Amino acid sequence: MATRKWQHPRADERVSAALRSKCGHLLATVVAALYAAALFVWPPAEVSCFPKCLFFTATNLYCPGCGGQRAVHALLHMHLRYALRCNLLTMSALPFLAVAYDRWTTRVWYSATPAPRRPDPKAIWSLLGFIILFWVLRNIGHFPFTMLAPASVPT
Ligand SMILES: [Zn+2]
């Protein structure tokens, strides 16, 4: 009869935390892939299963995310110009999200990169200010700010 070697509880906790991280990463990846597949198959402007913007519904003003689903749909179909016209902020964020996802994947599965540093508060406030500025500017109904509003659905 084999005897089980006693393990220090902290080692078990580390394994458990690593397993939770991998499961969380896998779940997020599957959900994002399914959402992207749905956006690829069904145009969000024509199908009612995608969430509508509550801010636009309530105020008739664009939020920073308005047009984001159409932008991703257009990007998945290689219509880059239309994707940029739908939501410039979403399209600008995608490369940064891709890099962050790559770093997360490497850290969770290979432990090759150190844990991320605490973000600089100035960077967070700058990003928040940029998003609010984009939010305000895209609701101004005069050129060139109309270029920031989501493009209408092409016919
Ligand atoms: Zn919106």
123-154 pLDDT, tens digit per residue, is 999 999 999 999 999 999 999 999 999 987 55
Q: What is the whole-number distance in angstroms between the Cα of residue 14 and the centre of ligand 1?
A: 41
The position carrying tokens 């999200």 is: 97
Which range is most confident: 8-12, 15-19, 62-66? 62-66
* pTM for this entry: 0.79
For residue 103, how far is its CA from the centre of ligand 1 (angstroms)?
Answer: 29
* Alpha-carbon span 63 to 78, nearest angstrom: 24
| Count of CB atoms situated within 10 Å of the CB of 136 | 13
Note the pLDDT of residue 25: 92
State the distance from the centre of ligand 1 to the C-alpha of 131, rounded, in angstroms. 13
Distance of CA 19 to the CA centre of its chain: 23
> What are the angstrom distances between the C-alpha of 129 and each of 70, 100, 125?
24, 21, 6
Separation of CA 5 and ligand 1 centre (Å): 56
Instruction: Give Cα 22 distance to the centre of its chain.
Output: 19
